[in-house]
Amino acid sequence: MKNIVIICFILFAGFIGKFYLFAAVIQRGGFWYTALALVGVLNSAISLFYYLKIVKAMYLAPETNTAPFGAHRGYIFLSAALAIPTLVLGLYWTPLRTPVKNSMALFRNVPSQEMAIQDKPIHP
C-alpha cells in the first residue's frame, strides 16, 4: 500500500499535489518555469522506476524466508492511522481545495472569489 501511495497514482493525494504544483509552474509561463516543471516530471518518472523495482522484489521475486513476520501493534496502528487519511483525502480532496485556494490568495494579496462573496477581510 505504501508503495502505491509513494508512486502517486491518479486519484491519490500525492498525484493531485504534484499535478497542481506542476500546473501552477507551467501556468506561470516562461522558459525556466516550463523547464523546471519538465525536470520535476522527469524526476517523478525516474522515481517510479525505482519504486516499481521494490514492488517487483516484494511480489515477483521468490521468497527467501518463509517464517511469518510479526509486527508490533503500535506499528500496525500507526500504519492504519496514516493510510486512512491518505486514502480519504486522495479520493475526496475537494473540501481542502477551498481553504488552500484562499490561503494562496492571501499570500498573493489577491482576494479569491469565495472571499469576495463572503465579504471577509483579507488581512486582520
Q: Can you give the three-state secondary structure of the chain, one letter per residue? A: CHHHHHHCCCCCHHHHHHHHHHHHHHHHCCHHHHHHHHHHHHHHHHHHHHHHHHHHHHHCCCCCCCCCCCCCHHHHHHHHHHHHHHHHHHHCCHHHHHHHHHHHHHHHCCCCHHHHHHCCCCCC
Percent over 90 (pLDDT), the chain = 4
Most confident of the ranges 12-16, 85-89, 93-97:
85-89
6: exposed, middle or buried (C-beta count within 10 Å: 0-12, 13-18, 19+)? middle
More confident residue, 59 or 75: 75
pLDDT at 78: 93
pLDDT at 100: 79
